[in-house]
Structure formats: C-alpha cells, structure tokens
Structure 1
Amino acid sequence: MTSIVQRIARQALLTFRSPPRLGEEAGKSFLENRSQLKSLMTEVRAADLKLVPRRADNNNVSPSLRGPPVTYMHICETDQFSMGVFLLKSGASIPLHDHPGMHGMLKVLYGKVRISCFDRLDRQGCTPAAPPLPPAQKGALRRSLLRSTDVYTEESGPCVLSPDRDNLHQIDAVDGPTAFMDILAPPYDPDDDRDCHYYKVLTEAEVKNTEQKEVWLLEISQPPEFWCGGEPYPGPEVCL
C-alpha cells in the first residue's frame, strides 16, 4: 500500500506545478488540488513518519550540551516544492520570518504550536505612525497586518500560507516539544530572490471592529538564539 507520505508528495507535485504568483488570483484547478493536499495533510500522524514524540529536555543540562533548539528532517525536494519535518524543543521558537513568493502548508504531528500570521501591507495609510529610526534602518521597515494567532495540535487541520496571505509567521512550541510536517512551494532559493528574512515587531495598533492589528516590522539578522540542526528522516521513502 502506498504510504500517506508518498501520496502527500505526489499531490504536492500536482498542486504546485503552476501555482498562482504574488497578486494573481488562484484558479479553480489550483484550489481543488490544494484542497485535496490539505485533506491528505489533515490525516497524517507522527506514526506515519515513524516519529516518536520527544520528551522535554533536562533543564539541568548546560545549554551548550543541549544541541540546537530546532532540527529539520529532509524528506524530499523538487523544483516545485520541498517537504520535511521541523522538531522544536520545549520552549523553542522559529522567529518571525517570511516566504517570498511562496505557498506553504504546515501540519502538527505531535505536541502543540502557537502560530502568529502576518500579511504584508502597502506603506500608505498605516494606523500606527512609523517608529523613529536611524536613516540607515528606514529601508528595513515593513508595514504588516497581524491577522491571527492560533494554537495547533495534531488534531488540527494544516496552517496554509500563500504569497499574499499569512506569508510571514512565527512558530512557538507550547507546553513541551513539538514536531510538524512542512511543505514550501517553491523551495527557498536565494539565487531566485526567495531567501528567508527575519523580523521583529516594533509597534502595533488595533484595527477597528476586528481582532487584527496593524504593525511595523523591522527586518533583522537571524536571531542568535535561533539555529537549526539536521537529523535523519526515519519514515517511508518518497519517490517522485
């Protein structure tokens, strides 16, 4: 029997053969394929990837001996998408970052994560005034909308992002270690202007009659407390 991981990979390949770009309206075929991919991702569990939930680290161990706060298991990659698993230790975070021109789907396999999703906005008409910064940093300001902050578990459906929606997000492990399957389409590629950028929130203001907030983000270097290691993927082989 074909593994669910293999079926997810094949559906991702079909879905992201010709995805809508930034500012383009998604066509019927893409939406139908993405819906099928989302349904498959909803079904996947840690056992399907032969993952055993991790225990919380011993806090008495020196930080230098604990290893990276986040590790990544590579499953497969094509020109259209990449697929893998991120494992976060208790209390770890993947800082606020973007996915330039990319689609994505994230499914929790065990544990619990809190995901804060942002949309980039035009510079005009921002409710909070732009914060005073040295001239050299002005170009690093990004006006954005904090659209949602939600908690996901293995029983939740996937978190979905597109070039236009929820493209910036922060992921925090809640109440212990956690792991999630991650699909990005197309993969990061600095040579094709798809590099990962990190941000911090400078100011925020409530949007009237909604639970959303308009914010100013400052692009920053990768935070020193965040780094990602690698480990072997133990699950079923994927052939594309």
Structure 2
Amino acid sequence: MMPGDGTMTSIVQRVARQALVTFRSPPRVNDEAAKAFLENHSKLRSLMTEVRAADLKLVPRRADGSSAGVPSALPYHHGAPPVTYMHICETDQFSMGVFLLKSGASIPLHDHPGMHGMLKVMYGKVRISCFDRLERPAGGAQAAAHMGSVRRSVLRSTGEFTEESEPCVLSPDRDNLHQIDAVDGPTAFMDILAPPYDPDDGRDCHYYRVVPDAEVKNTDQAELKEKEVWLMEISQPPDFWCGGEPYPGPEVRL
C-alpha cells in the first residue's frame, strides 16, 4: 500500500486534509464555488462523524480529572482550569484541537465572528445552546444606540450530544453563538474553526449573557417572537479560563 492510501492514514490526518480542502476558498454570497464548498463540507462532516476518542488516544476521565481511581466529589480541584485545550494543528484556513471539560464545567456563551465551526464529542455528554443575532434591534437605530451592547437575538436550538451524535455545525450566519455545558461528568470534543480566531483580523471572541425581559427597557415585548431573547456582551466570566495540555494522538502533517 502507498503511504497516501487512506487505509494507511489516520482518521485525524484525513479530517485535517479535508478541512484544508474545504476551507481553503470558502464561498461568498452567490459565489459559483458554493456547490463545491457544500460538497467538501459534507465530506468533512462525514469524516468527523467517524472520529472516536481512541483515534486521538484519549482516555475518558473521571470526575476528579484522572483516568483511574475513585471519582472525586468535587467537580474539579480549586485553582485548576475548568477547561483545557489540546492543540492538534493550525493553518491560516482552520484550527483543530480538543477541548476537555471537567465535571460541572461550561464554556460560556460566546461568538465566532465570520467563522465556520464543527464540533464532535469524543466522550461524555455536552449540552449546546445555539443563538443567532437578529439583524435589526427592535425600535431601530435609536433603540440600538440606547441599548448599547444589548442585541436582540434568537435561540435556535438546545440539544445534548454524545460520541454517537453527529457533529454540531455552525456558520458565519447560523448557530454562530453557543454555550457548551458538560452534562453528568467530564467530557471532551474535537473542534474545528475556520478561519481561526485572530483579533488582528476582526475575529476576536466575545462573551454574552441572556438578559431577562425585565431588564430590557423601551421595547415592545409584544413584537418578540418565540425563542427570541436579548444578549448582552460581557467580559470573560471570572470562573472560566482555559488551560493547555499535550495532544497524545497521531501527528498531523499538512
């Protein structure tokens, strides 16, 4: 068999190569390349569906963060990051890695400006709530100025995902904001973002909270549709931070 034969290549390598092909030239509105992009995106999603923890040499962890022993009664040790990240690879077109959430941990509601994304659970269970901003704040420009960083948005979906689930997918204009919560213990998911976050290129991560209706002033609540909410931009929550740890799986070469 040749070295490039799919049977000799790790699933992680194949995912990375497909991500590179998919996001090398993402289409713009009414772009003729849109059909090819959708076909490549579908191939990437199918490959991501196949990936399992063993392919990344991940050992599911217990509630105390270890892979053996008796689970701790605490969700995670004081001072330890609630979330860690394993870097797999990154190009100008995309980044790929693994997020590991300790029991009880959450990645707060955040956005992905102008980015595509794909998330596949490796072990455990996550609950993902996806939101989108609505183009026009209620009341027009004057209301937008009055509300400041509060924007009318819509809750698109809330669902639970396990290793048997298909990937959760986001695009620049659909399901672009989401919150990810560990459910019933530790969890890990493989994550692709395209292009990667880059504050210098207008792709910084922003955090939000859902504003109760009682806090929203000068708004005709009768106009709000089902699942529409208000989101306020906030600073990174003090109880959330992300550490790093080595990636133990197969090397990826691009």
TM score, norm. by length of structure 1: 0.89
Moved over 4 A (4+): 23-26, 60-63, 204-208
Decide which moves more: 172-181 or 26-35: 26-35
Partner residue, 1:175:
184
Residue 119 to residue 55, structure 1, CA distance change in 2 (3 Å): same
CA offset at residue 101 of structure 1?
0.2
1:56 to 2:63 alignment: yes
1:85 to 2:98 alignment: yes
Is the partner of 2:212 in helix, strand or coil?
Answer: strand
Query: Partner letter of residue 32 of structure 1?
Result: E
Within 2, Cα distance between the matches of 1:173 and 1:122?
31
Q: Is the 8 A contact 2:23 2:94 kept in 1?
A: yes
Partner residue, 1:216:
230
Q: How many residues end up aligned between the 2 structures?
A: 228
CA offset at residue 141 of structure 1?
1.1
Can you list the C-alpha shifts for 1:62-113, whole angstroms capped at 9, x where unaligned?
A: 8435x10000000000000000000000010000000000000000000000
Q: Is the 8 A contact 1:92 1:173 kept in 2?
A: yes
1:188 to 2:197 alignment: yes
Query: Partner letter of residue 198 of structure 1?
Result: Y
Larger radius of gyration: 2
Within 2, Cα distance between the matches of 1:62 and 1:177?
10
Within 2, Cα distance between the matches of 1:97 and 1:62?
22
1:147 to 2:147 alignment: no
Within 2, Cα distance between the matches of 1:62 and 1:199?
24
- Gaps (5+ residues) in structure 1? none
Within 2, Cα distance between the matches of 1:93 and 1:197?
15
Structure with larger RCO (C-alpha < 8 A, sep 6+):
1
Within 2, Cα distance between the matches of 1:165 and 1:62?
33
Query: Partner letter of residue 10 of structure 1?
Result: R
Can you list the C-alpha shifts for 1:6-34, whole angstroms capped at 9, x where unaligned?
A: 0000000000011135x667711000000
Can you list the C-alpha shifts for 1:155-214, whole angstroms capped at 9, x where unaligned?
A: 000000000000000000000000000000000000000000000000368976xxx511
Give aligned-pair identity as a percent.
Answer: 79
> Is the strand fraction higher in 1 or 2?
1
Q: Is the 8 A contact 1:203 1:217 kept in 2?
A: no
Residue 3 to residue 62, structure 1, CA distance change in 2 (3 Å): closer
Within 2, Cα distance between the matches of 1:90 and 1:201?
23
- Gaps (5+ residues) in structure 2? 1-7, 65-71, 214-220
1:232 to 2:232 alignment: no
CA offset at residue 119 of structure 1?
1.0
RMSD, aligned α-carbons? 2.3
